[in-house]
Amino acid sequence: MDMAMELRHLRYFIAVAEERHITRAAERLGMQQPPLSQQIKAIERELDVQLFVRKARGVELTDAGRAFLEEARATLNQLDRAFETTRRASRGEQGRLCVGVTSTTPFHPLVPRAIRAFREACPMVSLTLEECLSNESVDRLRNEQMDVAFIRASSGDGRGLVVNALLEEPMVVALPSTHILAQGKPETTVSLERLARETFILYGPPGTGMYDSTIAACQAAGFSPRVGNLGASTQLAPRITSTLSLVGAGLGITFVPSSLQRMNMEGVTYRALKGPNRPKATLRLASRRGDHSAVVKQFINFVRKEANDFAAK
């Protein structure tokens, strides 16, 4: 018998065993009683055992029949689980997902909100987060070491990737709390031109979102940022936390996305920027072009929905 016949025979047998009556089992299965009797006899011939004792008012299971019932139920339950697992995987509700984040993206409320919504809707997906710079995320995506990534950079040539801009937010200047521009009311704004002679602490290497945004904003305001040095090395901080620590120590200033104001660092004060060339930070979601993973598609859909909802507020 092929698999379809075997599964159908198991369901016939279970129905008779549970109803203890062939006619009632036939009604339950939506078939006539004689064909069902023939199918049960065919199973007994196939197994070369007697599964039922026929009585005037129905049937009773033999010891062999009770053993077969237990195994038949287990087999169908296992198949049902396999079918449901396959369906969940097809819908993107089961599997694995590696999500990259830079050190600034988790501070935007969209990112934790989208991840939380996805996890609540798809608890069977094993989701892991990896923190790295935008350019590192791009490399890991291309090398299939990561599935999707929240980034700030535009990803350069975008080779092999799909990069969706989700939201824009203004950038603010992070100042040492002792700085003269940090004095006054919290709503005090600072023009870019006032920062022309300041020492900048740049975050990450060229090609990362915050580095490029800082350079572009200063050049648009008519100056190139003066980058601080420690000894013979240019002041480049690998992570935003180290950047702000250096600001708090009075070694310079930096631009950060406005959502970073959630990070309260000792000795750091944030001020909004003013003027026609105020820099903005773009939150983006990158994935591999042509990735057919249902889990990845499901996650991207969740992020887009949350981004649309966030922008509408």
pLDDT at 86: 67
CB count within 10 Å of CB 143 equals 9
Residues 172 and 119 in one domain: no
Give the end of a domain, one of 90, 113, 147.
90
269 and 186 housed in the same domain: yes
Once rounded to an integer, what is the mean pLDDT over residues 155-178? 87
Q: Are residues 181 and 272 in the same domain?
A: yes
Q: 95 pLDDT band (50/70/90 cuts)?
A: confident
Residues 158 and 302 in one domain: yes
93 pLDDT above the threshold of 80: no
Between the alpha carbon of residue 268 and those of residues 109, 233, 251, the distances in Å are 21, 23, 11
- Confidence at residue 158, expressed as pLDDT on a 0 to 100 scale: 66
Q: Which domain holds residue 296?
A: 99-166+286-312
Question: What is the pTM (predicted TM-score) of this model?
Answer: 0.69
Rounded Cα distance, 298 and 296, in Å: 5
Examine the domain organization and report whether 172 and 162 are in the same domain: no
276 and 244 within one domain: yes
Asked whether the CA dihedral 3, 83, 296, 238 is positive or negative, the reply is: negative
Residues 8 and 106 in one domain: no
53 and 138 in a single domain? The answer is: no
295 and 261 within one domain: no
Q: Give residue 156's identity as a one-letter amino acid code.
A: G
Residues 180 and 156 in one domain: no
Looking at the structure, tell me whether residues 156 and 180 fall in a common domain: no
Looking at the structure of the chain, the number of domains it has is 3
Question: Distance (Å, rounded) from C-alpha 262 to C-alpha 85?
Answer: 40
Which residue shows structure tokens 């697992």?
Answer: 85
- Residue that finishes a domain, picked among 53, 68, 90: 90
With a cut of 50, say whether residue 5 has pLDDT above it: no
Which domain-ending residue is among 42, 65, 90?
90
> Which ranges in the chain belong to alpha helices (H)?
3-19, 22-29, 33-47, 63-90, 110-121, 134-142, 209-220, 240-248, 294-312
The CATH number given to whatever domain includes residue 61 is: 1.10.10.10
User: Tell me, what CATH number does 104's domain have?
Assistant: 3.40.190.10
pLDDT band at 232 (very low <50, low <70, confident <90, very high): very low
- Cβ pair 273, 172 in contact under 8 A: yes
Q: Is the domain of 276 the same as that of 172?
A: yes
State the chain's mean pLDDT as an integer. 85
* Percent with pLDDT over 90 in the chain: 45
In angstroms, rounded to a whole number, what is the distance separating the alpha carbons of residues 145 and 203? 24
